[in-house]
Structure 1
Amino acid sequence: MTRALFIIDVQNDFTEGGALGVEGGAAVAAGVTELLERHRGEYDVVVASRDWHSAEGDNGGHFAVESEPDFVETWPVHCVAGTEGAEYHPALSLDHVDVHIRKGQGVPAYSIFEGTDDDGASMSDVLTSRGITDVDVVGIATDYCVRASVLDALEHGQHVRVFTDLIAGVAASTSELALAELGHAGADITESTALDRAAS
């Protein structure tokens, strides 16, 4: 068994005070750092994703630039490449991150599998080249990018765990529905304490 950790979109614009900040985002950033300080040895590769949208245009209809956002398919401008909002939250330590994925460069993108690393490799390529069989997922937002990334990881054939103490969603109702969907699809919905139990 070879295991990866996916850290989904722990960025300034998705945490408190950001353009699309969710409640609990900063706590997720700090909690993921603590997880890696205790359990980095559990992972063969740690991957962090970021929305990295183009400054020009509406990014394939993703940004609501001529009307109000519906917060389902259209959104306020966020995570524009090179801006402070697109940077990782400062409480997330990058010391243990091996691969950085950028997604949504000019187009809508939710799943980590829709992005590429600094060398242009896809997430699927990264997992296959490293022989990854199991993935743990943390990050933001439960009901959007976490959900999409987990579903794609399952489609890729991974065994997936979602750590509910290290995710934060846009809304409680849609986050609850997303977790139910992911569990039904085959993901293990648990908490990061599963790592502590496994180590004891």
Structure 2
Amino acid sequence: MSKALFIVDVQNDFTEGGALAVDGGDAVAERITRYLEGHAGDYAIIIASRDWHDGDNDNGGHFSSEPDYVHSWPPHCVAGTEGAEYDPGLDTSAVTHHVKKGQGKPAYSAFEGTTDDGMTVAQLLEEHGVIEADVTGLTTDYCVRTTALDAIDHGRHVRLFTDLVAGVAEESSEAALAELAHAGAELTESGARETVDE
């Protein structure tokens, strides 16, 4: 039974000091790295997604000078900038597939992205016979939520590691976790928190 690990949008613009920083982003990056040290071999594929927005347009209304922080946001994760790069606390050496999303349009789920050679996430899961998907990353209430829901919609059993995610806001993150549980996701912890916080 093949498993996939999703590492969603652990990028500089979403961690401390970034354009859309969330509290605990750096810690999530470090915990995912620690988890990978002991568990990378558990997975047939490890997919890391990144927002990769255009810098010369509003990306279909995704960027705004007066953002509502629900459907529009300040500019972030512009392709080729430091903000779009992975957080330095995330070791990507075990990642088998890198996915970019949001090129000129709003995109939250990793399933909306493609690898540099044009493969979709759905195609990767099919090609590798993936039955189960574990989801980590940023942010709980947006890109993690939509990626996990899409994995469920594609017929995979989803586990979300609650200690390997962080959200924009507490209320919306709690609502997202409740929605995912209702949709059939298993909410659990990875165990990486204890080792990284010691």
**Shared fold (TM-score greater than 0.5)?**
yes
Structure-2 residue corresponding to 1:198: none
Structure 1 unmatched ranges of 5 or more: 195-200
The aligned amino acid for 1:102 is K
Aligned-partner residue type, residue 107 of structure 2: A
Q: 1:145 aligns to what SS in structure 2?
A: helix
Q: Does 1:92 align with 2:87?
A: no
Report the counterpart of residue 71 of structure 2 in structure 1: 73
Q: Distance in 2 between matches of 1:38 and 1:76?
A: 37
Matched, 1:184 2:182: yes
Distance across 1 between alignment mates of 2:46 and 2:101: 17
Deviations 1:148-186 (A, max 9, x none): 000000000000000000000000000000000000000
Runs of 4+ in 1 over 3 A off after TM superposition: none
Name the count of aligned residue pairs: 192
2:150 aligned residue: 152
Q: Which amino acid aligns with 1:52?
A: W
Task: Spell out, residue by residue over 1:90-149, the C-alpha distance to the aligned partner (whole angstroms, 9 max, x if none).
Answer: 010011000000000000000000000111011000100110000000000000000000
What is aligned with 1:8?
Answer: 8
Match of 2:196 in 1: none
> Take 1:193 and 1:92, find their aligned partners in 2: how far apart are those partners?
17
Q: TM-score, normalization: structure 2?
A: 0.96
1:35-54 → structure 2 map (5 Å cutoff): 35-54=35-54
Q: Give the SS at the match of 2:135.
A: strand
* Matching residue's letter, 1:61: G
Identity %: 62
Q: Provide the residue aligned with 2:113 in structure 1.
A: 115
CA distance in 1: counterparts of 2:121 and 2:141, whole angstroms:
20
Paired residue type of 2:189: E
Q: Partner of 2:130: helix, strand, or coil?
A: coil
**Residue equivalent to 2:195:** none
SS at match of 1:48: strand
Structure 1 residue 22: Cα displacement? 0.1
1:28-53 CA-to-partner distances (Å, cap 9, x unmatched) read 00000000001111111100000000
The alignment status of 1:24 with 2:12, answered yes or no, reads: no
Indicate yes or no: 2:102 matched with 1:104: yes
How many angstroms apart in 2 are the aligned matches of 1:193 and 1:95? 21
SS in 1 for 2:49: strand
Code of the aligned partner of 1:44: A
1:43 maps to amino acid: Y
> Pairwise CA RMSD of aligned residues?
0.9
